[in-house]
Amino acid sequence: MKFFESDEPYRIADKITNDSVLAPDLVVHVFLIMRKKKNIKDEPAFFSRTSYQQWTWSNSEFNRLYNVKQIKFEESTQIKDPIDDIVIDNGKKYLDYLNYYMNKKPDSTEEWFKIKIGQMILEGNTYRDIEQKTKLNKRYITETIKQLKNDIYNSFYGIGDDDDI
């Protein structure tokens, strides 16, 4: 991992975090993730993608450890959806709802399956990682995530029948 012998990881982390004081912690966290992975062909690309996911996804291990979202979105009313790159109004309320939705008791095995795949995405796994872990076809994983996003959107905006909140 010659990539970490330079100061490039710190420059990337500074850009991703907007020069947050947590940027060095993010570098160390992603370094530890990369040590567990085998056969990383493009270290800078993998580091950048993983750092971005760990920093922006509310359910990532880094965010659970450092509670970044609470600091970052306290004042913000607009955020990027952690599963998708669309901007969502009422950011804090959406993140709270997403946390509720991803941790609620599913009503069916199909819903349980979608939530488990979604949790793997939020933990920073790529579709390829999920394909290797679950032996599912990548197309099926893509369709499952698409359906999960649709379910969360419909439920959050009251379009569906999920009135549990």
Q: Is 132 contained in some domain? A: yes
Binned at pLDDT 50, 70 and 90, residue 69 comes out as: very low
Residue 144 has pLDDT above 60, yes or no: yes
Q: Which residues pair with 79 in a beta bridge?
A: 88
Residues 78 and 152 in one domain: yes
pLDDT at 88: 55
Range(s) of the domain holding residue 32: 1-56
Domain count, the chain: 2
pLDDT at 91: 61
pLDDT at 11: 92
Q: Indicate the residue among 9, 25, 56 that finishes a domain.
A: 56
Two tokens, residue 77: 């009313």
Residues 93 and 47 in one domain: no
More confident: 66 or 120: 120
Residues 165 and 90 in one domain: yes
Amino acid at 104: K
3-class secondary structure, 116: helix
Q: Name the average pLDDT for the chain.
A: 79
Binned at pLDDT 50, 70 and 90, residue 12 comes out as: very high
More confident: 88 or 44: 44
Q: Which long-range contacts (CB under 8 A, 24 or more apart) does 83-86 make?
A: 83/57, 83/118, 83/121, 83/122, 83/145, 83/148, 83/149, 83/152, 84/149
Indicate left, alpha or beta for 158 from its phi (over 0: left) and psi (-120 to 50: alpha).
left
| pTM exceeds 0.75, yes or no | no
Give the separation between CA 113 and CA 153, rounded to whole angstroms.
18
Residues 49 and 89 in one domain: no
Q: Is 141 contained in some domain? A: yes
Write out the H or E segment, with its range, that includes residue 151: helix 138-156
Residues 80 and 110 in one domain: yes
More confident: 73 or 3: 3
Per-residue pLDDT tens digits for 102-138: 888 888 999 999 989 988 887 778 888 888 888 988 8
